[in-house]
Amino acid sequence: MSFPSKPDYFGLGSNASLSLKNSSLNKSATTAEAHDEIGDTVAMEVFGEQSAPSVTYEVIADITMSAIKLGAITTVDSKPFALTSVSWNTAPGAVAELQCSGAQVEAGATTTTSTTITLPAFALKKWHDAQILDSAFSLTGAGCYVNGCNYTATADLSTATVDGEIVAHDIQNGRVEVAVSIVQSGSTAPTISAGTGWEIVSPLTVDNPDADFPTWTATLRKNLTSVHPSAT
């Protein structure tokens, strides 16, 4: 069986610790309509076709991703794409995944001429375990175990358009959130302490259905700093 090639819209598949699982271009366009006096459409124009690609990678070896930058530009088929979201997902018995998404920006954009946000470097193991990512928190409580930990870094993308076409962009308001799920198997409830630079924005909350062990969830956040390109 022949499998079709999968475009690497963010260029991270070149890392030997990552295997590109799937990708999608996610095209869209803007529609303008004119209506008559009774509300029927009498004219329509479709313009400004754009793409918002997404790519999923699987972790196949231990990795420390110190080079990921939100706002980084990758050009595929003459189209430049800015990386705007990165999400690491870990759970027991599941391969760790990296999910990325972004948006098409103006022609000629490059990483060296665009605002970027460098993500903190942290180690991720290849094992199919739930892992505490980026030392976001520490867990205490006898019989309490992390059952899921997701790390999501996002930034806002602003654009300038002319006739529906993007002619300039910028990126700002970078932040990271870690969402954790903890199962309690004994009589001691879990407690978590935020790591350096992190804040608990959603304290531990318990869901205790009759037929299952209590599950606790919490969310932590860290803010990131944008860096404009150096003037030439």
Q: Does residue 4 sit within a domain?
A: no
Q: Which amino acid is at 69?
A: K
Give per-residue pLDDT as tens, 127-137. 999 999 999 99
Q: Does residue 17 sit within a domain?
A: yes
Say which residue, 47 or 204, is predicted with more confidence: 204
Q: Which domain holds residue 181?
A: 12-30+49-223
Q: Does residue 125 sit within a domain?
A: yes
Q: Does residue 100 sit within a domain?
A: yes
Assign 94 a pLDDT band (cuts: 50, 70, 90): very high
pTM of this prediction? 0.88
pLDDT, position 67:
76
End-to-end CA distance of the chain: 51
* Cβ atoms 105, 50 nearer than 8 A: no
Portion of the chain with pLDDT greater than 90, in percent:
79
Give per-residue pLDDT as tens, 97-115. 999 999 999 999 999 999 9
Residue 66 has pLDDT above 80, yes or no: no
Q: Does residue 36 sit within a domain?
A: no
Beta-bridge partners for 157: 171
Cα 48 to chain centroid, rounded: 25
Say how many C-beta atoms besides its own lie within 10 A of residue 129's C-beta: 14
Q: Does residue 41 sit within a domain?
A: no
User: Which letter does DSSP use for residue 227 in this model?
Assistant: B
Q: Which amino acid is at 130?
A: A
As a whole number, mean pLDDT of residues 16-44 equals 93
Cα 161 to chain centroid, rounded: 25
Q: Does residue 232 sit within a domain?
A: no
Q: How many domains in the chain? A: 1
* Cβ atoms 135, 121 nearer than 8 A: no
Q: Does residue 111 sit within a domain?
A: yes
